[in-house]
Structure 1
């Protein structure tokens, strides 16, 4: 056969789609034993993909025995046993049956992904690409970039973080107390290694960040839960808990979005003092509060009892893997001794570039610009949801952050709502993975907005209205 035309989508790697389509043609008998296949170059031109794409697909087919290469002659179909072909046909029929959506929809409504309400992305339009590139090029001229970085973080970045944390989050600290890493989860793993011998159990928010839960479970901590409602955490439970270690997101609870009052924060500090424990404060997007000034961090009240965790991923760029941790004085030396022989896993180039970015005032300008941009997107998303759905939905967490949670009053389950939305070209995300012991009576869905345009937000909500209507 001289030519093929496949419909390729963006949902999966293109080489894999080519491989699967070719495999189907062979197993269904459309391509017979010893049939010749188009050359790598010709197939790439026909499908408008790179030669590497078709080459990888062919190599996979060769590895699995479906085709063979005969040097300059090209590629040919191998013989398959008839029984094998029948089994393939049965498997394909079963797969087709299983792939039928739970909620049947008219074929005309089935479409490719148009709007992805994914949280954790940033708006590429406003990323200061030119400035960042210029600073990175300057940093590349420095000899330090051609050596392994400092074990616990670049000194210049830590020096910039000290005044920033005091000014923006109210946290008074020194460079010695700051540790740099690649992610919050990695920092939690390190803290787990440090504390697990003296703190066998940990108290986690329920619902809460499942990435933190995974990190603590990896260390085999006993998990206790702090129930969190839409109105806030149930702190009365603290007096009944055995754990002396608490992980919380007080400035912007994940996922409800509620913030702790100063009274609640003081209660947590008093608890940590009474039990001689520590609070792990995850301030993952504390810069983005839209109704008032960002709340001071919990660590600003008593830094001796709080391990403060911050990240550049949400506020700047996920691809720049930079996070930081502020340790109480009592943990600084034990941490350095425990990890004295571990290499720094955050890019020294990115650390030094971020230090220059902050030193020149670009970081502060970027945060101010993005806070206004994200506030406008947040308001637009909430207004569109209220206009389209009215009392059918309730919006949670619209005061801060880069996502909201939507409570849907519907007989459909969370998964059914997600599937129906995807049928209409919209991707929304579940919150059920964040729950431990608690459950929600109504489906709760997470909608991120940071990387979407105003037009995409409007289109996405309109499609959700079509998808979720009775």
Structure 2
């Protein structure tokens, strides 16, 4: 069973069912949907895309009539076997730019631009915290340990003794093949397994990337608030780092033209920590800037799989036709941070630079974990796990919002709740960010300051409202702990002077 990630254009003159038909047909022809793979049911695909069942049913009928899919009674529709052998990897890469897009236009002739020592993300084991709203935790109780253990045991059989040695520098080929399929179906990313480099966590991957970029980049622009580990990497590589102001729909792209940056770091699907999604208009402008300036866009899609309202948001890389976007992904949110598995999708020039060993990178991701994950994905267990976790986190998000609204019926704003595993709580109070955090801590509740993520040191520039904003992650708490933690938070802040 697969899922689809692509763009439906409701403003197009072409019917929705034809857009859907063309997309699935092209994926089958190009081999991105393998023969005998089951397509989602009409009900499930219509719910996933946020459309009625009629367009999906019509598209499936057309595919069936033309022989691109076949029907099995009481089982569903399956991709037909087509004779498309003989294409090299380079030819398949070229085919991407010539394939018919979901809007029914030839993309080759379409416009190029479619649209501190103390951790800042969870409490340490030495801290006495009853309810930790750190964003770095996930729901470990929902992880399928028994399935993972069985697969890992298979990796430890004598026939797989090679996994006890150093692994492939680029990552195990079988895992990279599974990641490529996953990214195309779930995030709309266009890539081949040859373009993927597996890493041991996001910072390991970014460290490699920044080594590869050193020849071209002296000035790196970035969103004015970024993950604290990313800040540390910027300092380590001594890039001239230029903060870009954040607006309600993403970075102010105009500032890029005045800062002479050769690359920009963004989190477009769910900005960290503020939570906004970059608008289509700004994505177009950002890609235009990268093309005009021959610059790179570093897209960190750290939790793009978890969205709770509207249609899934495709990756920025899915809009890129010029090879300017470098995609960074991780399994820390979808699985668990302890496995330390991440990946880069490199444009071809950077891939060539990697293969020429213009870096000091070594493969630190365990080959055993890599093969276990590959089998976990290949058997369909990963897809089932992701469906479960979307539901789990959706419920937790709803519980958190309900508890916050009940505890704070006025004088607070909840920001960035449509996706991801954290929200921001802006308190209309004369208390500072530090005072809010300390008051919560005295009640055994850990919430987190957003000033730790600012590239610019002057929080005053963000205004008084920003100074009274804290971060609450919910992934690692149970629903009952979320309610209890918010209750204690209300007690901690009951003496707040509301302005």
- After superposition, give the CA deviation of every residue in 1:379-417 in whole Å (9 maximum; x if it has no partner): 110111111112221001100000111101111111111
In structure 2, list runs of 5 or more residues that go unmatched. 1-126
Which has the larger Rg? 1
Q: 1:395 to 1:264 in 2, by over 3 A?
A: same
Cα deviation, residue 341, structure 1: 6.9
Q: Map residues 367-386 of structure 1 onto 2, 5 A cutoff.
A: 367-386=386-405
- After superposition, give the CA deviation of every residue in 1:18-38 in whole Å (9 maximum; x if it has no partner): xxxxxxxxxxxxxxxxxxxxx
Give the Cα separation in 2 of the matches to 1:392 and 1:130: 46
Q: Map residues 150-299 of structure 1 onto 2, 5 A cutoff.
A: 150-299=168-317
Q: Map residues 16-165 of structure 1 onto 2, 5 A cutoff.
A: 112-141=128-157, 142-165=160-183
In structure 1, list runs of 5 or more residues that go unmatched. 1-110
Q: 1:380 to 1:440 in 2, by over 3 A?
A: farther
What is the root-mean-square deviation in Å for CA atoms of aligned residues?
A: 1.5
Cα deviation, residue 190, structure 1: 1.3
> Displaced runs of 4+ in structure 1, greater than 6 A?
none
Give the Cα separation in 2 of the matches to 1:168 and 1:400: 15
2:464 is the counterpart of 1:441: yes
- After superposition, give the CA deviation of every residue in 1:270-321 in whole Å (9 maximum; x if it has no partner): 1100000000000000100110232111111116000000000111100010
Q: Does structure 1 conserve the Cα–Cα contact (< 8 Å) formed by 2:151 and 2:376? A: yes
2:483 corresponds to which of 446, 455, 458: 458
Cα deviation, residue 230, structure 1: 4.3
Q: Secondary structure at the match of 1:391?
A: coil
Structure 1 length normalisation: TM-score? 0.74
Give the Cα separation in 2 of the matches to 1:208 and 1:153: 27
Q: Report what 2:329 is aligned to.
A: 310
Q: Does structure 1 conserve the Cα–Cα contact (< 8 Å) formed by 2:302 and 2:333? A: yes
Q: Secondary structure at the match of 2:223?
A: strand
Give the Cα separation in 2 of the matches to 1:121 and 1:316: 11
Give the Cα separation in 2 of the matches to 1:375 and 1:212: 27
Give the Cα separation in 1 of the matches to 2:360 and 2:271: 35
Give the Cα separation in 2 of the matches to 1:192 and 1:179: 14
- After superposition, give the CA deviation of every residue in 1:10-60 in whole Å (9 maximum; x if it has no partner): xxxxxxxxxxxxxxxxxxxxxxxxxxxxxxxxxxxxxxxxxxxxxxxxxxx
- After superposition, give the CA deviation of every residue in 1:115-154 in whole Å (9 maximum; x if it has no partner): 1111121112210000000000001111221221101101
Give the Cα separation in 2 of the matches to 1:178 and 1:436: 29
**Count of matched residue positions in the alignment of Structure 1 and Structure 2:** 360
Give the Cα separation in 1 of the matches to 2:469 and 2:366: 37
2:353 is the counterpart of 1:337: no
Q: Does structure 1 conserve the Cα–Cα contact (< 8 Å) formed by 2:249 and 2:278? A: no
Q: 1:175 to 1:434 in 2, by over 3 A?
A: same
Q: Does structure 2 conserve the Cα–Cα contact (< 8 Å) formed by 1:151 and 1:340? A: no
2:373 corresponds to which of 354, 363, 379: 354
- After superposition, give the CA deviation of every residue in 1:80-136 in whole Å (9 maximum; x if it has no partner): xxxxxxxxxxxxxxxxxxxxxxxxxxxxxxx95221111121112210000000000
Q: Secondary structure at the match of 1:445?
A: strand
Give the Cα separation in 2 of the matches to 1:343 and 1:185: 13
Cα deviation, residue 165, structure 1: 0.7
